[in-house]
Structure 1
Amino acid sequence: MRSIPLTFLARVLSVALLSCATLPATAKTPAKVAAHPPGAAIASAHSLATEAGLDMIRKGGNAFDAAVAVSGMLSVVEPVSSGLGGGGFFLLHDAKSGRDVFVDARETAPESATPAAFLDAKGDLDRDRAQNGPWSAGIPGLPAALVHIAQKYGRLPLSTTLAPAIRIARDGFPVYARLEKGYASRRSVMERYRGTREVFLSDGDPPKVGETFRQPDLARTLELIATRGRDGFYTGETATRLLATVKEEGGRWTPAELSNYRVRERAPLRFDYRGWKVTTAPPPSSGGVALAEILQTASGWDLAKLDPAHRTHVLVEAMRRAYRDRTIYLGDPDFVKVPVSRLTSPDYAAGLRATLHPEKATPSELLPGQPAPLEDDETTHFSIIDAQGNLVSATQTVNLTYGSGLVAPGTGVLLNNEMDDFALKPGTANAFGVMGFEANAPKAGKRMLSSMTPTFMDSPGKLVVIGAPGGSRIITEVLLGMLGYDAGLSAQQVAALPRIHHQWMPDVISAEAGALDPATVRALEAMGHRVNAAESAWGNLQTVAWDKRGNTLEGGTDPRNPTGKADVLPVASAAK
């Protein structure tokens, strides 16, 4: 897809923020709206994944079957972003029962991963161990999620839903620029490991744009999952190879840790915003809590009456406070008490508003940074609606570019480096510049905190599925997308919106080039903000929406990512 000039995007963002205090989505509810979507819509970061999902719909599958196919394909064609060696979050809506469920397939810490294991001789964080090789890898969760969703929610067998991914892994796909560039940035790490060299240097040199990239070992691993389910990955041949590789490279996993991995089904987090019913990610994601805090804090201002600088100021101050709370309070709810109800309360948001000066930035160092008595871009997302009204918003990852860099020989499985998402040393920032304390400290079996924010927005007139990659910036990507939808933008306009971000520490507003005009930057600086107004573009938002009034479907895929695809399958071709 062609890129959209950022000068145009800046105007669109201005329209979105100016409009976000107009009449809410409930103001013009028609007498009659469609009962079901007129087909299926899928948006993902790669055309082969979108096509695989639509093929499952054609075969009589539902959105959940399509999700397995899309996820499996992304695990093949986006090793730079996700894969079987990683994990993810799947937000599902089952139309028949009306039930929403959050499938938590986040990786877990092995018993060996104590905080002390990640410190060097001087007591500082050993970043190489935290981000590269076997010690950086948590126990993978994505294979378990594919099996769980297929068996509990899908109609089709895994042998059908994983068939496209198996075929492309075996036959290959054309190397694209992000894959080549990502390898170049991680080459020194990836070529440490025999299994990685066997996959990525199979023809004697690194992947180049236009070459065909084949992964026969990964095809074999996918076949084992398709035929044996969980046992195709967590026990037997694949597990033996994974365990041997981790040990050979100096790490420590146990067979029990691998075989005992299970996904968790959790209740999603819900809140209201201007006539929208928002359903989103609960802990161990920080995304839903942060969205609720930011939107409810900012709702105290009529944003349409504010000039661009003051609108940005209000949003940034709300972001600052939400990310501070992320740092202090959030972690795996199976291990720590997370004050979700308090942090997402409108009363708590009112308290945060009372600390926000309308004309001056609050230095982040003045917000308490110690526990109170209360808690990269290289990820991928896809969004799905089917003709029954089933929904999937899924974000999956191996964390940083190409994860740990370590492929287990004979499996094609590239392991994640999600251990860096723990607070390995309290108060020390990770690769995304965010830090944490005891709530997110590693413990055996614990799931590291995440920013992944798969989300649904529902109003009487429109239903939206939205999400994005982007490390700690995922939350603000989704936030701006939600504001765009609330302003009446199309799915594609939402995906193309320019981006701003603040995460408490470091104390700086990040903005894509052109997202903030020079006058706005000067006004923000006069308020005391530090602004980096010329950052490279980030993120890869994928969204689909159903207009219930006109009974139409649309999809939006991020123009920053030329491999992405959003497509709609009309009801005549989609199984109901």
Structure 2
Amino acid sequence: MVTVTHRSARARAIIALGATIAVASVAVAAPASGAPSVAASVVVAAGRPAPPAPSTSTGYGGAVSSVDAEASAIGLAVLRTGGNAVDAAVAAAAALGVTEPYSSGIGGGGYFVYFDAATGEVTTIDGRETAPADMPTTAFVDLATGQPYVFANAVSSGLSVGVPGTLATWQTALDRYGTRSLRQTLAPSIVLATRGFKVDATFAQQTADNQSRFAAFPATAKLFLPKGAPPVVGTTFRNLDLAKTYLRIALRGTDAFYQGAIADEIAALVQHPVTTPGATLPAYSGYMTADDIAGYRVLEQDATHIDYRGLDIYGMAPSSSGGTTVGESLNILENFDLSSASAAQSLHLYFEATAHAFADRNAYVGDPAFVDVPTETLLSQDFADARACVIDPDAASPKPVPPASLDAAGCTSVPAAEHADTENLSTTHLSVVDRWGNAVAYTLTIEQTGGSGMTVPGRGFLLNNELTDFSFTPTTPKDPNTVEPGKRPRSSMSPTIVLDDGDVRYVVGSPGGSMIITTVTQVLMNRIDLGMALPEAVAAPRASQRNSAAVAAEQGFRTAYEAQLSPFGHQFATSAEIGAVAAIEVGAGGLMTAVAEPVRRGGGTALVVKPTK
């Protein structure tokens, strides 16, 4: 009884201080006359359960789409009170760190793409995690046997943890493009973490799926396995430790994370993972130090860009492979009139385009600080035309297809190589457009569902396992995704913004590991080429061809199309669920259509500031 009383008092104190931060923000970001105060809106948004969660909304004045009702409601509150797309995106991302802790959070990283309506420019922030300075190329090889570690064992260990970049991304985005401080944008999530959220079936199932490995780490078991079991659907899940951590950062800035006690605790846990007595996980030690954390920097760089059917498609440049591979896939499809083709032939050509683009991704894309990535070539229409000329419109290519030669003309290639893709499916994405036409596409992650499985004791957040995105075994010639000190592992995250004559038309992205690339490509093809409305384009059954013998496909896709595609020579393997898209379309007169998944991952929430009746 005493514990409950003490916990409640602590919760009330954190909520009160979070509300105080929100109130203080009014002086910095006063709302328009007659509008509700910033303080009132953000605290209300985080202080009570989110309203019913539509997966599609249409209207004006701004839009937010994410996988989570709480996060979308908080982002919308920021837009309603005069915040811009960047302010709303950071606030919503902080909320996802509370409600989607197995997919995102300050223990991870991500990629932020921003369109500035005033300048017409698209810029990006690379907040990808980095390998520690002392991490050797053979880090994932058992030197006693010469064989790579078992993947699952490497995941749940200090070895897998990259230096986190999420908080640095938030701060940089707000400094460069936002109108509010990090302190203001964290306020609603401090309240949310303290008040708690209702456990849904997805959160309960994700916890249950990871129960044995969560139980192996005492701090994780204490937080996510109350009474030794996953939380029950319908109960309230609170994270007072995360509320305190957010509050500390709100009051002291990001130095409270990247320097001092929290950084020391992260480094200590990575170097010396703590497991429960009797745990069987090897929990290998990692190489991260407090100096690695203090030295982390985001990268601000140009977006990738292609022209597709008269639209300007902008994405994330390496270290992500998303922008180059989505871009190359679409450039290949530019050679074919999909709008006049049958559904089966369009899907066949989509499979062939992504297979060829993935061959080139695997051969050439890595961290450009370490690898000479031929980004300009991979995004050129001439290069894509040469790839298209080896595609048979009526028959599937034998897989794996070889990558293209970069220095030869015509339909040329180099020998194919098998590629083991270890990038995991759990990530999250949010899309935002504000009243001024600014837009954000932001994909963030801790990699595996539950990341490394290790929670920083008393801090309320999980650490990522992003370094398992590296190729485990060094090769000759060198794989572009080989482990190296200070390097960023290749990613498939594909936050994408599409402009039409200089104005934002689509904002789209998804989780899904390497299937993110095909998901974004398929949604754009559905909408631009196949005439589907955006809600249809998102809800349509999906399939993913990543240069493998079998196409990964949802059962709904196999039911609808396998009989039509098998004569082309395609083989299929069932994937339970592909992606969880969050997208926005801006149409004539500024009408916004915000779309989230109606079913996948439990369904998402898409909201607009001024809904149409």
TM superposition score normalised by structure 2: 0.81
1:365 deviates by 3.9
- Compared CA separation, residues 474 and 227, structure 1 to 2 (3 A): same
Select which of 538, 554, 564 maps to 1:495: 538
Pairing of 1:124-139 with structure 2 (within 5 A): 124-126=147-149, 127-139=151-163
The code of the aligned residue for 1:457 comes to V
1:494 deviates by 2.4
1:124 deviates by 2.3
1:553 corresponds in structure 2 to 592
Select which of 408, 416, 426 maps to 2:456: 408
Larger relative contact order (CA 8 Å, sep ≥ 6):
1
1:221 deviates by 1.3
- The question of whether the paired residues in 1 share the 8 Å contact of 2:305 and 2:379 is answered with no
1:72 deviates by 0.4
1:25 corresponds in structure 2 to none
The code of the aligned residue for 1:567 comes to L
Q: Distance in 2 between matches of 1:542 and 1:114?
A: 37
Select which of 198, 201, 208 maps to 1:174: 198
Structure 1 residues 201-255: Cα deviation after superposition (integer angstroms, max 9, x where no partner):
3444322211211111111111122122220211112112212222331333111
1:28 corresponds in structure 2 to none
More moved, 229-238 vs 82-91: 229-238
Root-mean-square deviation (CA, aligned residues, Å) is 2.3
The code of the aligned residue for 2:254 comes to R
SS in 2 for 1:474: helix
SS in 2 for 1:514: helix
- The question of whether the paired residues in 1 share the 8 Å contact of 2:401 and 2:547 is answered with no
Select which of 525, 532, 549 maps to 1:483: 525
Q: Distance in 1 between matches of 2:580 and 2:546?
A: 19
1:482 deviates by 0.9
Structure 1 residues 139-167: Cα deviation after superposition (integer angstroms, max 9, x where no partner):
11101111111222211222221111111
2:263 corresponds in structure 1 to 239
SS in 1 for 2:86: helix
Q: Percent of counterpart pairs with the same letter?
A: 37
The code of the aligned residue for 2:163 comes to I
Structure 1 residues 316-348: Cα deviation after superposition (integer angstroms, max 9, x where no partner):
111111111111100111221100111111111
- Compared CA separation, residues 409 and 288, structure 1 to 2 (3 A): same
1:392 corresponds in structure 2 to 440
- The question of whether the paired residues in 1 share the 8 Å contact of 2:53 and 2:604 is answered with no
SS in 2 for 1:84: coil
1:571 deviates by 9.9
**In the alignment, does 2:568 pair up with 1:527?**
yes
SS in 2 for 1:383: strand
SS in 2 for 1:265: strand
1:300 deviates by 1.7
Q: Distance in 1 between matches of 2:87 and 2:547?
A: 39
Q: Distance in 1 between matches of 2:126 and 2:367?
A: 11
- The question of whether the paired residues in 2 share the 8 Å contact of 1:46 and 1:564 is answered with yes
2:610 corresponds in structure 1 to 570
1:194 deviates by 1.6
- Compared CA separation, residues 462 and 94, structure 1 to 2 (3 A): closer
2:363 corresponds in structure 1 to 328
1:426 deviates by 4.8
- Compared CA separation, residues 212 and 427, structure 1 to 2 (3 A): farther
**In the alignment, does 2:438 pair up with 1:383?**
no
The code of the aligned residue for 2:498 comes to M
**In the alignment, does 2:152 pair up with 1:104?**
no
- Compared CA separation, residues 336 and 409, structure 1 to 2 (3 A): same
- The question of whether the paired residues in 1 share the 8 Å contact of 2:201 and 2:602 is answered with no
SS in 2 for 1:206: coil
- The question of whether the paired residues in 1 share the 8 Å contact of 2:97 and 2:106 is answered with yes
Structure 1 residues 334-389: Cα deviation after superposition (integer angstroms, max 9, x where no partner):
22110011111111111111211233221124522359xxxx43110000000111
Unaligned runs of 5+ in 2: 1-51, 274-284, 403-414, 419-423
1:523 deviates by 4.8
1:93 deviates by 1.2
The code of the aligned residue for 1:385 comes to V
1:432 corresponds in structure 2 to none
Pairing of 1:5-154 with structure 2 (within 5 A): 38-120=60-142, 121-126=144-149, 127-154=151-178
1:550 deviates by 3.4
1:306 corresponds in structure 2 to 341
1:8 corresponds in structure 2 to none
The code of the aligned residue for 1:173 comes to F
Q: Distance in 1 between matches of 2:611 and 2:184?
A: 21
**In the alignment, does 2:547 pair up with 1:504?**
yes
Q: Distance in 1 between matches of 2:182 and 2:96?
A: 16
- The question of whether the paired residues in 2 share the 8 Å contact of 1:129 and 1:135 is answered with no
**In the alignment, does 2:484 pair up with 1:443?**
yes
- Compared CA separation, residues 252 and 535, structure 1 to 2 (3 A): closer
2:410 corresponds in structure 1 to none
- Compared CA separation, residues 38 and 185, structure 1 to 2 (3 A): closer
- Compared CA separation, residues 173 and 437, structure 1 to 2 (3 A): farther
The code of the aligned residue for 1:108 comes to T
Q: Distance in 2 between matches of 1:528 and 1:2?
A: 41
- Compared CA separation, residues 255 and 318, structure 1 to 2 (3 A): same
1:411 deviates by 1.1
Q: Distance in 1 between matches of 2:432 and 2:542?
A: 24
1:198 corresponds in structure 2 to 222
Q: Tell me how many residue pairs correspond in the alignment.
A: 525
1:563 deviates by 4.9
- The question of whether the paired residues in 2 share the 8 Å contact of 1:63 and 1:392 is answered with yes
1:441 deviates by 0.9
The code of the aligned residue for 1:74 comes to L
1:508 deviates by 0.9
Q: Distance in 2 between matches of 1:106 and 1:568?
A: 30
